A = this chain, B = another copy of it.
Amino acid sequence: MIKLRYDRKVNFYETDAQGIVHHSNYPRYFEEARGFFLEYVGYPYPKLREEINIDVVLLKLEIEYHQPLYFQDKFYILFNIEEFNRFKFSFFYQIFKEDILVATGKTSHCCIDRKTRKIVSIPPFLLEKFKGVIND
């Protein structure tokens, strides 16, 4: 299985008074990576929302913080979908600064109808994309 790579640099406003990136930014970095994933498979998130009328929501978030990130650090996220069924899918992430493992994470998601906010099954074309990236 390939991993996608998303590159980023730390912004000053993401730091805190400890001089490091505040931990609440990591879920935001993961979200950026997922946006990149959806573009990679050809279904950018606004398209999903407007054409198919679904929202992707977060069910579960796990992050382990190994090393701090500092202002202007360049880092990259290696990630991919690693588990999914008809209703739920999970991404795994590794954040690296050069070859240092900074953090690992996992997010689990489902799709909901934008109007009712009820859980719906993952659209088949998206499941196909998931299979594709896992088998690459």
| A123 CB–B CB distance under 8 Å | no
A11 to chain B, nearest CB (A): 6
Contacting residues of chain A (3-23) with chain B, CB-CB under 8 angstroms = 11-13, 15-20, 22-23
User: A17 vs B59: C-alpha distance in the bound complex, in angstroms?
Assistant: 17
Q: How big is the A interface, by class?
A: 35 or more
A121 contacts which chain B residues (CB < 8 A)? Answer: none
A28 contacts which chain B residues (CB < 8 A)? Answer: 11, 13, 24
| A132 CB–B CB distance under 8 Å | no
User: A57 vs B62: C-alpha distance in the bound complex, in angstroms?
Assistant: 16
| A65 CB–B CB distance under 8 Å | yes
User: A18 vs B44: C-alpha distance in the bound complex, in angstroms?
Assistant: 16
Bitwise interface map of A from 110 to 133 toward B, beta carbon under 8 Å scored 1, else 0: 000000010000000000000000
User: Which 9 interchain pairs have the tightest Cβ spacing?
Assistant: A15-B17, A24-B27, A61-B63, A23-B58, A17-B19, A13-B28, A62-B62, A60-B64, A24-B28
